[in-house]
Amino acid sequence: MVVRLGAGGFGAGRLRLSTLPLGTVAWGLVGLLVVVPLANIAIELASADGMQAIRDVFTGRIARNMLWLPLQNTLAIGVVVAVACVALGGLLAWLVTMTDMPLRRTIGFLAAIPFMIPTFSAALSWTVIFGDDRLGPASTGFLHALGVPVPAWLAWGGVPIAAVLIGHLYSICYLMIAAALVLVGRELTDAAEIAGASRWQTLSGILMPVVTPTLVAAGALCFAEAVSSFSAPAILGLPVRFHTLATRAYGAIETGNPERGYVLIATMIIVAAALLAVATLAGRRRRSFATVGGKGGRRIRMTLGPARWPLAIAALAVVLFTTVLPALALLLSSLSAQRGTVFGALTLHYWIGASDPAIAQGQAGILQNPQLVRSFVVTLGIGLATGLVALAAGAVIGAAIHRTQRRWAAAGLRQAAFLPLLVPGIAIGAAFIGFYGAPIGPLPSLYGTPMLIVIAGVAATLPFAVQSVTSALSQISPELEESARVGGAGPLRTWLAVTLPLAFGKLLAGFVLVFVKMVRDLDLVILLYTPQIPLLTVLAFRYASDGFMQFAHAVSVVILVLSVGAHLLANALGRSSQPWLKAPAG
Amino acid sequence: MTDPAIDIRNLVKRFGSTEALAGIDLSVSRGAFCVLLGPSGCGKSTLLRLLAGLEAPSGGGIRLSGRPVADGRAGVTVAASGRNLGMVFQSYALWPHKTVQGNIVWPLKIAGIPPAQRRARVAAVTRMLGIEALQDRFPGELSGGQQQRVAIARAIAPAPDLLLFDEPLSNLDAQLRVEMRSELLRVHRETGATVVYVTHDQIEALTMATWLVVMRDGRIEQQGPPGALIAEPATPFVSTFLGNPPGNLLLAEPADGGWQVNGVACDGLPVADHAGPVQLFYRPERLTLHDQAGNRRIAGRFLEALPIAGRSIVSADGVDGGSLRRLSAIVDQPPPLAYGDPVFLELPDHPDGVFSMTGERLA
Ligand SMILES: Nc1ncnc2c1ncn2[C@@H]1O[C@H](COP(=O)(O)OP(=O)(O)O)[C@@H](O)[C@H]1O
Ligand SMILES: [Mg+2]
């Protein structure tokens, strides 16, 4: 989501004060955080071992299982998820912003939440509902326990992975498409109506084409997110040996074949980047239409007639299934004395119980477990540290982009800072292990230190941090700062008195976004954590792999609450992310 | 006589609790250039959208060429597409994903016009508006003036009987606006369509209208040929809204058998028998400028002088606050005054109009 900076007028009249050192520092940061670790992967691949790994992976005996089947799975999941998300998100966006569907505000509010739920929690909740007993009683789901036969394809593998990713990502499509739809001038569709176009002709001939660039961008984003996801296939695919590139790369690196892992990771990056490039090129001629329609005007909502309630109920079902249901399933599971017994005996043991040798090999409830408390503190600490450092790095880079007078230099810096968007979390993890995991000259190896996780996190979230800083800065008209300067305030005073307070809301939102991404992330840290740094997501993943499902679900509930809570708080503090819900019902 | 092109009876439109149109009666004859003029928010666009069939009235009815198309009870009975009209929007509303040609041709396709005729129409309207060379461009690649021409071409391509314009020139720069005014008048002449044209710019209204409708707060204040509205404004609002500079309106109070305006005695008013205060309307060109007090001379402070067409428009405001806001006079010689200097404006012995406090014209 590379959002263009507004109005061109920045450079004009600005002091060139300190442009050079700022630019140098910014490039230094981007270099250390993004360029060098990624280039290092390329260098590794160019080595003799790397070339051998490329040959093995692409043409060797293992090629089919290592690359081609997982690639096929990955692409299939990416395409299905992208198409379904655009269709589902687009339909919801249209219903909420353009029609008289009842309950549309509630539905709109809920539709933004799945994006805040970690895929990792969503995947676990799928097993709570649809799991079968093929992996033993510990993975039995509610449906199976109720005696409903759950076909194997619905319990594990590609279908559940795609479903979980759709349930997570349609939310982004909804937000992007709704934002585009509300910008389409009402007069565009009025003009079609006067021409005599039917509703369908207006929808297919005017509205859809006008928002097509947004549909393409949203689809490409979902595709990239889906092909790079690790959590969902790890939880729903690995138990039945269903592999994607991400799980194969993880497996290769974990089993001491990092070069093979790098080959797979490079393949993932190329697949995601190729699609995004195609999408960008396809959208180039059509540019962004969304702003062409002039003032949005008061919207006349399309009347749905007798379809109003059926559509509202269907939409409500979708948003409830993707928000309340997973949360409830996890909660209920964490409270069930016995896995798979729905409405059986409930217990708080997995939350607060003391160690009892009869249950779960004597594991104490998570709130009694010193490891969990430590893990909670470590996770919060890493989240906060990453948020602060990312924002500081984003501020330097954002300010450099903002101030650089040479357009190409600013564009280059921005592109480099946004590069991590293309790189799957697990690949960033691998790149950082590869580069910072070994001593660099006099500097010691960072492996096993929280610092490694923090700087990898900063690299992974840099696009979001830079975006929040540049959008905060671009909001402040240069005249505001200049008027303070003319009034006699020095640069520091101006910055403290004018710039910072004005930018505060956006910066805070950026900070929370980075924080939440870290708190709920598994993809990035799965290769970086060590037992000394027990992150919550890793803890839950470990519990789940060891079959202690209720514990995994309890931890997962904690993460979910933390993540959704922080998001909602940021929304409440900053400007609403869905202004169209506020408009008076017209 | 044939039916008027537009016949509107007691038209009401409510949005929730706001009454955007509060009983409009309007009749526009075939081939007229009818301009709806009024301040922002007075309901002009709403009236136009009801005419277009984009919205349904809450009360009253609309007939086009004698045919009922909408009323308060049945709603829209003839849809926009059945009314044979074209509309040009303030934002132009060009479809951004279609080329110029695509924009013009799509409505013709929707209307089921055969390809050969479509080509002929596109050729004819692009020639009429001088945009033949732009046919393959996208709207995003056109200047504001060119977009405007495309929007007009699109509206007239189906040869409508009725053309609706909603502030079409307000997004253009001053020079282009003057140019497009005559262009629009030419299009009106060549198509012979009836035009309803919304604007808040009185220059546009006075130069283009054959029938001028002044609106305020959802009502029609006055309608008629522009000359008639200037000569005989029916309400205080029209008297101060029309004309450049606008007319002067002064509060006159009965005092000792005569009248007092802003503390100055004035004799010879044509409404000697009126018991309460009245409002007096004076055209700017009839006030004269003096440096001393006297009969019918209102004391004020000089604000500014604008030289125009060899004369000067002088503005002043009243000294003692009161009801007097701003007075304008047109004089031959620019006065040697600076901001804030005292000045006296002499009213002629007969006002150009007298209105009751509730707005009826008394004389
Ligand atoms: N769709 C709508 N919903 C609610 N109020 C509206 C709507 N359209 C117009 N209005 C109100 O009706 C009044 C007239 O609006 P409009 O016709 O657009 O005025 P004008 O075009 O003269 O500026 C305004 O008070 C406006 O706020
Ligand atoms: Mg309007």
Chain A residues with CB under 8 Å of B85 CB are: 194
Could you tell me if A85 and A166 are in contact, meaning their C-beta atoms sit under 8 angstroms apart? yes
pLDDT digits (tens, 9 = 90+) for B134-163: 999 988 888 888 999 999 999 999 999 999
Q: Is A315 helix (H, G, I), strand (E, B) or coil?
A: helix
Inform me whether the C-beta atom of residue B112 falls under 8 Å from chain A C-beta atoms: no
Determine the pLDDT at residue B19: 92
Least confident of A265-274, B237-246, B317-326: B317-326
- Cα gap A341→A242, rounded to integer Å: 27
| Ramachandran region, residue A377 (left: φ > 0; alpha: ψ -120 to 50; beta: rest) | alpha
pTM, 2 dp: 0.76
Residue B86's pLDDT band (cuts 50, 70, 90):
very high
Q: What is the largest CA-CA distance in chain A?
A: 77
Higher-scoring residue by pLDDT: A84, B292: A84
Could you tell me if B233 and B70 are in contact, meaning their C-beta atoms sit under 8 angstroms apart? no
Burial class (CB in 10 A: 0-12, 13-18, 19+), A245: buried
The β-bridge relationship of strands B342-346 and B18-28 is unpaired
- In this structure, how many other beta carbons lie within 10 angstroms of the beta carbon of residue A378? 20
Best A183, A188, A193, A194 member to test B by mutation, with max B CBs in 10 Å, is: A194
Q: Is the dihedral of CA B124, B127, B128, B129 positive or negative?
A: positive
In this predicted structure, the answer to whether residue B289 has a pLDDT above a threshold of 50 is yes
In this predicted structure, the answer to whether residue B47 has a pLDDT above a threshold of 50 is yes
Residue B273's pLDDT band (cuts 50, 70, 90):
low
Chain B residues with CB under 8 Å of A295 CB are: 91
- How far CA A240 is from CA of A64, A135, A234, A309, in Å, comes to 17, 9, 10, 41
The overall average pLDDT reported for chain B is 88
Looking at residue A34, what DSSP letter applies? I
Interchain pair B97, A209: CB under 8 A? yes
Q: Write the DSSP assignment of A246-311 as a string of letters.
A: HHHHHHHHHTT-HHHHHHHHHHHHHHHHHHHHHHHHHHHTT---TTTT-S--PPPPBP-GGGHHHH
Determine the pLDDT at residue B189: 92
- In this structure, how many other beta carbons lie within 10 angstroms of the beta carbon of residue A287? 15
Determine the pLDDT at residue B293: 85
Q: Is A577 helix (H, G, I), strand (E, B) or coil?
A: coil
Least confident of A276-285, B10-19, B100-109: A276-285
> Digits of tens for pLDDT over chain A (586 positions)?
333 333 333 333 344 444 457 788 888 999 988 888 888 888 888 888 888 888 888 888 888 888 899 999 999 999 999 999 999 999 999 999 888 899 988 999 899 888 878 888 889 889 888 888 777 666 677 888 788 888 888 888 999 999 999 999 999 899 888 888 887 777 888 899 898 888 888 888 888 888 888 888 888 888 888 988 888 999 899 888 999 999 998 888 888 888 888 888 888 888 888 877 777 776 655 544 434 334 444 556 777 888 899 999 999 999 999 988 888 888 887 777 666 555 566 777 777 777 666 666 667 777 777 778 888 899 999 999 999 999 999 988 888 887 777 778 888 888 888 888 778 888 888 888 888 887 877 778 788 788 889 999 999 999 888 888 887 777 676 677 777 777 777 777 777 777 777 777 778 878 888 888 888 888 888 888 887 788 888 888 888 888 787 788 888 888 888 888 887 877 776 655 666 776 543 3
Determine the pLDDT at residue A95: 92
Determine the pLDDT at residue A56: 84
Nearest by CB to residue A194, choosing from B80, B139, B140, is B80
Burial class (CB in 10 A: 0-12, 13-18, 19+), B195: buried
Mean pLDDT for the stretch of residues B161-177:
88
Determine the pLDDT at residue B270: 64
Q: Which ligand 1 atom is the nearest neighbour of the CA of B167?
A: 21
Domains of chain A: 23-100+170-291+344-353+360-582 (1.10.3720.10)
Distance B115 CA to ligand 1 centre (A): 39
- Cα gap A320→B209, rounded to integer Å: 58
Which positions ≥6 away from A260 have C-beta within 8 Å?
A53, A56, A57, A66, A252
Determine the pLDDT at residue A18: 47
Could you tell me if B94 and B154 are in contact, meaning their C-beta atoms sit under 8 angstroms apart? yes
Q: Residues of B68-99 as b/e, b for ≥16 C-beta within 10 angstroms? A: ebbbbeeebbeebbebbbbbbbbbbbbbbbbb
Determine the pLDDT at residue A80: 97
The number of C-beta contacts closer than 8 angstroms across A and B is: 80
Inform me whether the C-beta atom of residue B107 falls under 8 Å from chain A C-beta atoms: yes
Residue from A566, A526, A541 nearest A121 by CA: A541
- How far CA A180 is from CA of A210, A233, A296, A505, B239, in Å, comes to 9, 32, 11, 23, 45
Could you tell me if B235 and B222 are in contact, meaning their C-beta atoms sit under 8 angstroms apart? yes
Residue B354 C-alpha from the chain's centroid: 23
Mean pLDDT for the stretch of residues B80-102:
90
Q: Write the DSSP assignment of B286-330 as a string of letters.
A: G-EEESS--TTEEEEEEEEEEEETTEEEEEEEETT-TT--EEEEE
- Cα gap B339→B351, rounded to integer Å: 28
- Cα gap A517→A117, rounded to integer Å: 10
Burial class (CB in 10 A: 0-12, 13-18, 19+), A337: middle
Whose Cα sits closest to atom 4 in ligand 1? B15
Residue B358's pLDDT band (cuts 50, 70, 90):
confident
Determine the pLDDT at residue A342: 54
Q: Is the dihedral of CA A402, A408, A411, A413 positive or negative?
A: negative
Interchain pair A193, B80: CB under 8 A? yes
Most confident of A405-409, A501-505, B73-77, B329-333: B329-333
With a Cβ cut-off of 6 Å, ligand 1 is lined by A 298, 586; B 15, 18, 20, 38, 40-46
Q: Give residue B308's identity as a one-letter amino acid code.
A: I
